[in-house]
Structure 1
Amino acid sequence: MKQSINWGVLGDAGIAKKAVIPAIKRANNANILAISSQKGAPKQTAVEFNIPKAYSSYEELLTDPEIDAVYIPLPNALHKKWVVEAALNGKHILCEKPAALNSKEAEEMLAVCDQQGVKFMEAFMYQFHPQHTRVKEIINSGEIGTVKQMNSAFTYLLDLTAKNIRLNAQLGGGSLYDVGCYCIHSILSILEMEPLSVYCRGNIDEESQVDLTVQGTMTFPDQVIATFSSSLEQYPVNQYEVIGTKGKIIITQAFRPDKQGGEGKLIVVTQDGTREENFVADQYRAQIEHFSNAILKEENLNESNQHTLKNMRVMDACFRSLCEKKSVEVL
């Protein structure tokens, strides 16, 4: 039986070099076999990370019979095209978030993957850190009572004068696509519900026409409310809190604990006092091992794919709300 998955990477993007390629090399069931770039320097990256093969086009990599799975860190607007191409070439796909520009694109991508018998997963690496499993355990224990609200924020400071794909509307730039998707994903995952409606307000840059900041409110069944904030122009924050009738849980490094050596901190506040729980994990490695294992064991990833679709539908509603400047239903 095959023991490991051979990976290829489409594009030598920063996130690939800083996080995902090193994670593949750390994983116990994965090998990095090839990298390709149509604009960058694949040979230089191949030498830097000791990658056996370097291709000057994505097509060359996708037709390599030795490659089992590909990681796609391309700009958001290119995800659909290259996910479809990878699927048609029989490659399993780990695609950077957000999976697509809208839910229609995501549905079409997943349909092709299903038709071609390949696995697809959206690269929300944060979910593989054990702190989130612990949050659900505490909620289910009843310690913080009935959950009434969740607040999530992911913000950072981007150089708004530099050339950056995050400031390119045609490539799917903006804070909602870049970091707001994490906030929404975490809310749906922790609450295990879908919102009925959303209302968003934002700061749209006049020159680039991308959203620099978005603040949103979601209404859920049972009078549960969630808020989120995403920004490319605010002091760095990546946390969420879950508030119940008896207490609350705060995750201080919700999405990028890897920037703190993989350490996540969970704070529980109730009438009985405050306590902290610390967790250390390699979330990028865990993501690679999870997906590689799903391929090796032919596991069903339908639940993950359904979460991708739900997340995109909420994001669709957020963009409609920003445009219409009113609360809209999640379709």
Structure 2
Amino acid sequence: MTWVFDFIALVKRNYTLQHPPVAPKDDDALRIGTLGAARITPEALILPARSHPGVVVTAVAARNPARAREFAQKHGIPRVFDSYQELLDDPDIDAVYNPLPNGLHYEWTMKAITAWKHVLLEKPSCNTADETRRIFQYAEEKGVLVLEAFHYRWHPAVHRVREIVQSGELGAVKRLDGALTVPSGWFPRDDVRYDWTMGGGCMMDMGVYPLSFIRWLLDAEPISVISASAIPAHTSTLSAPLDRGTTALLSFPNDVTASLTCDSATPLPWEIMPKVEMKIECERGSVYILNFVQPTAYHYVTVHRQGKRPTTEKIYSSGPLSQKKFKGEDWWTTYRYQLEAFVDKIRGREPDYWMSAEDSIKQMEAVEMIYRKSGMGVRPASTYTL
């Protein structure tokens, strides 16, 4: 009957993550404005903010004022601005969420920093590593906070995997294989992901997840890209090469190799469901995690220890399996954990986990290495100058 209780918990958890309790707001709650009315914003900011007493989503700005007003009405956002700059200029806004297309990340994050706003910046941070470096340097100069929104990094499940891998109980890591793919039709053909001028490309969007997870699990940077190949998107041209999918094999210190695969439109019928997984092969066993990107919805971690029967764990909140304790409930999404850390850091409290500026810079350097090896080249740099 265990499966019955597991199923009930699954349904209850997924209902609550879509309908989180509304927390009474603190008098000094952080006032966040969102740049644009992106499809990710409700999941990444609005829903998590509902259950956080220290956060109020107070404003939205969009290039299309009518869309901004519709978005605000739908999500209960009290203020609407007709331009991003108007929102940034408002002294009653403490921080901004930047989910704009990749090619606009650099310009509007720099402008937000200029306006003394903290920034929760959607991944990937920028189109180039140099832009990422300049963002964090400028934020440090101005004394504001910028966090790249690699939300999965805050969930207890991925910390449990990292804990197992780095504990040494399975011996040294030998190889990692990560994948994030979705079937054809998941994204519309006119999606901004297929716009080279806006920093599109599957490696920039989906590929950054397995790459980031691999680097974090190893706590190391790739020495080289052994091989990389890209499947051109339908919008790809010689002057604007853009990948629908990318596969790469990386070399890391201590003779460790890692492969990653991403694809935004795997042909049917070969794939009818997304593939989100990571496998870590070690000297004396292996670890596998299903759905490391959004583990709250459902995941499992299977550990094969040499000479022993496999064990499976499901980690929805901190418990006795993990040495690292996190604030949170089993229905907290990765975005809710991330928002908790963002607010804690701004308020001078120590977050359970933090992603450093150096990590974000190294991530983009690795993305560029893969793009160069695949022949796609790096994404176009922003023309914006401070």
Fold conserved (TM > 0.5)?
Answer: yes
Q: Which moved more, 1:244-253 or 1:208-217?
A: 208-217
* Deviations, residues 221-250 of structure 1 (Å, cap 9, x unaligned): 110111100111223111111110111111
Answering whether residue 117 of structure 2 is matched by residue 79 of structure 1, we say no
Residue aligning to 1:24: 49
* Distance in 2 (alpha carbons) for counterparts of 1:201 and 1:184: 15
TM-score, reference length from structure 2: 0.79
Residue aligning to 2:192: 165
AA in 1 matched with 2:206: V
Residue aligning to 1:329: none
AA in 2 matched with 1:193: A
The structure having more radius of gyration, on CA atoms, is 2
1:27-46 pair list within 5 angstroms = 27-39=52-64, 41-46=67-72
SS at match of 2:43: helix
Answering whether residue 346 of structure 2 is matched by residue 295 of structure 1, we say yes
- Note the residue ranges of structure 2 that are not aligned, 5 or more in a row: 1-25, 317-331, 378-386
Q: 1:217 to 1:18 in 2, by over 3 A?
A: same
1:1-331 pair list within 5 angstroms = 3-39=28-64, 41-159=67-185, 162-198=189-225, 199-205=227-233, 207-208=235-236, 209-234=241-266, 235=271, 236-258=274-296, 260=297, 263-270=298-305, 271-280=307-316, 281-297=332-348, 304-323=356-375
Measured after TM superposition, the shift of residue 286 of structure 1 is 0.9
* Deviations, residues 70-110 of structure 1 (Å, cap 9, x unaligned): 00000000000000000000000011100011101111111
Q: 1:37 to 1:264 in 2, by over 3 A?
A: same
Residues 4 and 296 in structure 1, CA contact (< 8 A), matched pair in contact too? no
* Deviations, residues 42-72 of structure 1 (Å, cap 9, x unaligned): 1111111111111111111101111111000
* Distance in 2 (alpha carbons) for counterparts of 1:220 and 1:183: 15
* Distance in 2 (alpha carbons) for counterparts of 1:228 and 1:31: 38
* Distance in 2 (alpha carbons) for counterparts of 1:63 and 1:146: 52
* Distance in 2 (alpha carbons) for counterparts of 1:303 and 1:213: 26
Judging by fraction of residues, say which structure has more helix: 1
* Distance in 2 (alpha carbons) for counterparts of 1:251 and 1:203: 26
* Distance in 1 (alpha carbons) for counterparts of 2:344 and 2:118: 12
| Identity, % of aligned positions | 29
Residues 77 and 101 in structure 1, CA contact (< 8 A), matched pair in contact too? yes
SS at match of 2:171: coil
- Note the residue ranges of structure 1 that are not aligned, 5 or more in a row: 326-331
Residues 34 and 60 in structure 2, CA contact (< 8 A), matched pair in contact too? yes
Residues 202 and 246 in structure 2, CA contact (< 8 A), matched pair in contact too? yes
AA in 1 matched with 2:253: P
Residues 28 and 289 in structure 1, CA contact (< 8 A), matched pair in contact too? no
Residues 83 and 109 in structure 1, CA contact (< 8 A), matched pair in contact too? yes
Q: 1:2 to 1:115 in 2, by over 3 A?
A: farther
Measured after TM superposition, the shift of residue 112 of structure 1 is 1.5
* Distance in 2 (alpha carbons) for counterparts of 1:167 and 1:247: 39
* Distance in 1 (alpha carbons) for counterparts of 2:76 and 2:342: 22
SS at match of 1:121: strand
Q: 1:115 to 1:158 in 2, by over 3 A?
A: farther
* Distance in 1 (alpha carbons) for counterparts of 2:30 and 2:299: 29
* Distance in 2 (alpha carbons) for counterparts of 1:103 and 1:156: 27
Residues 4 and 292 in structure 1, CA contact (< 8 A), matched pair in contact too? no
AA in 1 matched with 2:43: K
AA in 2 matched with 1:152: G
Q: 1:34 to 1:72 in 2, by over 3 A?
A: same
* Distance in 1 (alpha carbons) for counterparts of 2:195 and 2:222: 29
Judging by fraction of residues, say which structure has more strand: 1
Q: Which moved more, 1:243-252 or 1:158-167?
A: 158-167
SS at match of 1:162: coil
* Distance in 2 (alpha carbons) for counterparts of 1:180 and 1:137: 23
Residues 37 and 56 in structure 1, CA contact (< 8 A), matched pair in contact too? yes
Residues 182 and 263 in structure 2, CA contact (< 8 A), matched pair in contact too? yes
Residues 3 and 296 in structure 1, CA contact (< 8 A), matched pair in contact too? no
SS at match of 2:53: coil
* Deviations, residues 124-174 of structure 1 (Å, cap 9, x unaligned): 111111011111221233332211111111111353763110111111111
